[in-house]
Amino acid sequence: MSIEVKNINKSFESKKVDQLTVLKDVNLTIDDGELVCLLGPSGCGKTTLLRLIAGLDQPTSGEIIANGEKVSGPSGDRAVIFQQYSLFPWLTVLKNVTFGLEMTTGNSKEENIALAEEYLERVGLIEFKDSYPHELSGGMKQRVAIIRSLLNHSPILLMDEPFSALDMINRHKLQEQLIEVWQRFENTIVFVTHDVDEAVFLADKIVVMGRKPGRIDKIIEVGLERPRKRESKEFILLMESIVENLDMGELDKKSLE
Amino acid sequence: MFDNYKNKFIPLILPICIIIFWYLITEGLGIVDLYKLPGPITVCQAAWILILNGKLLTNTVDTLVKVFAGLIAAAVVAIPLGILLGWYKTLEDFASLVISVLRPIPPVAWIPFSILWFGIGMFPAVFIIFMGCVFPILIYTLDGVKRTDKVLIESAQTLGAGDRDVLKRIMIPSAVPYVVSGLRVGMGIALMCTISAEMVGSGSGLGYMILTATSLFDPGTTVVGMLVIGLIGIVFDLIFTKVQKRIFW
C-alpha cells in the first residue's frame, strides 16, 4: 500500500503563542513495500506526521491518501506501534496477539489461536504465551506488539520510536528482526526515530526533518545493500553526512555564538 | 522468619493494652461506673448470652443481608451508568449538575423519606444504603472509564477495533480496578448507613440491637454490637485487599 502526504499543515492552539505550527507544507510519497524512516530532532513533528498518517489526528489542512483512499480516522490497515508499551495488561500474550484478528477477520477462535501460536513460535516467544505483559521485559513487549500488528496483516506499519527504550543490544537485535519480518511480509513501514544509526540501518529512504516549523528538509535514498554492516565504510560515511546536515547541529552552533 | 513473627505480633499489643486498661478502670478498680461503661467481663457475658439465644447471629445476618442488598442494587445502577457517562461526554455534562447536588447529601438525610416511601422493615434501610453507595461507585466507575490509557485505545483502533469494541474490550476492563475501589468505599459506607438506618426505622439488625440494648440498660450488648460491626469491617477489608491484589493492571 502506498501513502501520499499532500500539502499537510498542522497547527495547535497554544497559550503562549497564538498558534503553534507543528508541520508546514509537508509533501511525501511512500511507495508500496517501502521502509521509510522519519528522522529528526525532537520537536520536528515526526511523531505528529505519523499520527496523521495513522488517522489518530487530523491535519489542519491538506490530505493523506493511503492506498487510494483519504485517511479520515484510524483503521486496521494502518497499525501503530507506539513508543510506550501498548499491550493490553489484562490479556495474556496470546490474547493480545489474537485481539486484532478478532476485530478484523471472521476466523474461528481456534484458527486465530493457531495462527498466533505459529507466529509466537517463530520469534521464540511461545513459552510466554500465557504470561501477562507485566511479566515480560521491554524488548519482549515490543516484539509482541509488532507480532500483534503483523498478524493482523496490516499492510502499513507505523512505528513511533518503538525501540528507543531498549538497550543497544536488544535494539540492534530487534532492528534485524524487523528487517527479516518486513522482507517476508512486504509491508510498507514508516519508522520514526531520532537515531541516525537506526535510520541508516533500516531505511530504504530517510526523510530528514527540521524544526520551527516542522518540515521536510531532505529525502535521502539509502542505496546500501542488505544485510547492512554498521562497520562498513559506506555506512559510516552516510551517517556522518546526515549528522552534519541535521537541523540539531545548526541550532547548537547558533546558541554557541 | 523472626521479622514475620514480629510483624504479626505488633498489631496485637495495643488492643491487649486497651483491654487491660479498660478492665482496670471498670471492673478492676471501679473508677468508671459500670452503667456508663461496661467492663470486658460484662461484655463477654453479654456476648455469650447473645450467642446462646441466637440473637447475635440473626441480627448480624439481618444487617449483612441489608448491606448486600443495598450494595448490589447500587452497583447494578451505578456501574452501567458510570460506564455510560464515561463513554458519552455529552451525557456526563447533562447529568453532572444533578450528581454534584445529590452526592454530598448524607445518606441518613434520606431516612425520613425512606420511612415515608417504604415504611418499616428492610426496604427503607436498603434504600438508604443504596443512596449512600450509588454515588461513590458511580464516580469511581466514571473516572476509571475516562482514565483509560490513550495508547491502549489508539492501539485497539489501529488494530481495527470500532467504538463498541473499544468500550467493551478496552475501557471497561481498564476501569475494573476503579470499580473495585468504588465497591470497597461503598461497602464501608453501606455498613455505616445500615446501622444508622436500623436505629431509626427498623425492628431488627445490629443497629436495632445496639439501640434497644441501651434503652434496656444492657450496655454490654451495645458494646458487643459495636465490636461485631468492627469485625465485619475488617473481614470485608481483607477480602477487598485480596481482590485488588489479583487485579494487577
Question: Angle CA(A72)–CA(A76)–CA(A78) in degrees, nearest 5?
Answer: 70
Residues A128 and A251 in one domain: no
Residue A163 shares a structural domain with residue A236:
yes
Cα distances (Å, whole numbers) of residue A75 to A55, A152, A186: 8, 11, 19
- Domain assignment present for residue B193? The answer is yes
Q: Which residue has the cell 531520532?
A: A194
**Could you tell me if residue B47 is inside a domain?**
no
How distant is the Cα of B68 from the closest Cα of chain A, in angstroms? 28
Give the chain A residue nearest B165 (alpha carbons). Answer: A103
∠ CA B195-B141-B95 to the nearest 5 degrees? 90
Q: For position A53, what pLDDT does the model report?
A: 94
Chain A residues whose beta carbon lies within 8 Å of the beta carbon of residue B168: none
Which residue segment(s) compose the domain that B125 sits in?
57-246
The confidence score (pLDDT) of residue A254 equals 44
Bridge partner residues of A65 (DSSP):
A4, A70
Q: Mind spelling out the 3-state secondary structure of chain B?
A: CHHHHHHHHHHHHHHHHHHHHHHHHHHHCCCCCCCCCCCHHHHHHHHHHHHHCCHHHHHHHHHHHHHHHHHHHHHHHHHHHHHHHHHCHHHHHHHHHHHHHHCCCCHHHHHHHHHHHHCCCHHHHHHHHHHHHHHHHHHHHHHHHHCCCHHHHHHHHHCCCCHHHHHHHHHHHHHHHHHHHHHHHHHHHHHHHHHHHHHHHCCCCHHHHHHHHHHCCCHHHHHHHHHHHHHHHHHHHHHHHHHHHHCCC
Position A247 scores a pLDDT of 62
Evaluate whether residue B5 is within a structural domain.
Answer: no
Q: Do A147 and A117 lie in a common domain?
A: yes
Is residue B214 assigned to a domain? yes
Can you give the CATH number for the domain in which A188 is found?
3.40.50.300
Do A69 and A94 belong together in one domain? no
Nearest-by-Cβ selection for A80 from B155, B169, B176: B155
Q: List the single residue in B157, B165, B173 with the smallest CB-CB distance to A90.
A: B173
Is the domain of A43 the same as that of A114?
Answer: no
- The tens place of each residue's pLDDT in chain B, 249 residues long, gives 556 666 778 888 999 999 999 999 998 888 888 888 889 999 999 999 999 999 999 999 999 999 999 999 999 999 999 999 999 999 999 999 999 999 999 998 988 898 899 888 788 889 999 999 999 999 999 999 999 999 999 999 999 898 999 999 999 999 999 999 999 999 999 998 888 888 877 788 999 999 898 888 888 999 999 999 999 999 999 999 999 988 877
Residue B185 covered by a domain: yes
Same domain, A111 and A215: no
Shared domain for A170 and A236, answered yes or no, is yes
Q: A99 and A61 in one domain?
A: no
> Distances from the Cα of A256 to the Cαs of A212, A245, A247, B74, B180, in angstroms?
18, 17, 15, 65, 56
* CA of B101 vs chain A CAs: smallest distance (Å): 33
- B159, A132: Cβ pair inside 8 Å? no
Residues of chain A short of pLDDT 70, as ranges, are 16-18, 247-257
Q: Which residues pair with A19 in a beta bridge?
A: A13
Domain for residue B62, yes or no?
Answer: yes
Contact by Cβ (8 Å): A181, A153: no
Q: Are A10 and A118 members of one domain?
A: no
Q: Which of B158, B180, B247 would best serve as a mutation to test chain A binding (most A beta carbons within 10 A)?
A: B158
Domain count, chain A: 2
| SS3 state at A60 | coil
Same domain, A12 and A135: no
Residues in chain A: 257
pLDDT for residue B76: 97
Q: Find the CATH number of the domain harbouring B148.
A: 1.10.3720.10
C-alpha cell at B198: 436500623
Structural domain harbouring A128: 86-153
Does residue B232 lie within any of the structural domains? yes
Q: Mutate which of A77, A86, A131 to test chain B, going by most B C-beta atoms within 10 A?
A: A86
Residues A124 and A164 in one domain: no
Structural domains counted in chain B: 1
Question: What pLDDT score was predicted for residue A257?
Answer: 39
Minimal C-alpha gap between A196 and chain B (Å): 26
- Domain identity same for A136 and A167: no
Q: What is the DSSP letter of A133?
A: G
